[in-house]
Amino acid sequence: MSKQEGLQGEALVADYLRNNGFQLVAHSYYCRFGEIDLIAWEGNTLCFIEVKTRTNLEMGLPREYVTPAKQKKLRKTALFYLSEKKLDCFCRFDVAEVYAEQGFDKARIVYLRDAFQ
């Protein structure tokens, strides 16, 4: 998958979140520990969202690529974000799977709330 396809998937998920009542606060947040694709509020919960886009499933489901090592990086990055922004709030880690086997105009999103701790 190309970087462009990944960005298209993230844009689709951002629209999905907005349409479902989330308030986006960051896109492609980077720090020395890693990157978080999207950060959004859902009510009083801050959600750190990893987006996985696939144009075919030959190599498995998108969620399978959020490995324990990736989860560890996401947790460190999220802690840095919370510290940097001086936030003390409820948080969770979500995974958004974008299935674009038939193109991005027909893509399907599967949103996994609280995908890992």
**Tokens 């690529």 belong to residue:** 65
CATH number of 3-116: 3.40.1350.10
pLDDT tens column, 92-110: 999 999 999 888 899 999 9
Say what the pLDDT of residue 1 is.
61
Residue 23 CA to residue 41 CA, distance in Å, equals 5
Separation in Å, CA 9 to CA 12, 51, 108: 5, 7, 10
What pLDDT does residue 59 have? Answer: 83
pLDDT tens, the chain, 117 aa long = 678 888 899 999 999 999 999 999 999 999 999 999 999 999 999 999 999 999 888 888 999 999 999 999 999 999 999 999 999 999 999 999 999 988 889 999 999 999 998
Residue 57's pLDDT is what? 82
Beta carbons of 93 and 73 less than 8 angstroms apart: no
CB 46 within 8 A of CB 91: yes
What residue segments make up the domains of the chain, in order of their start? 3-116
Residue 15: what are its φ and ψ, rounded to 5°? -65, -45
What is the number of other CB atoms lying within 10 angstroms of the CB of residue 99?
19
Give which of 107, 116, 115 is closest to 13, Cα–Cα.
107
- Tokens at 39, concatenated: 């950060």
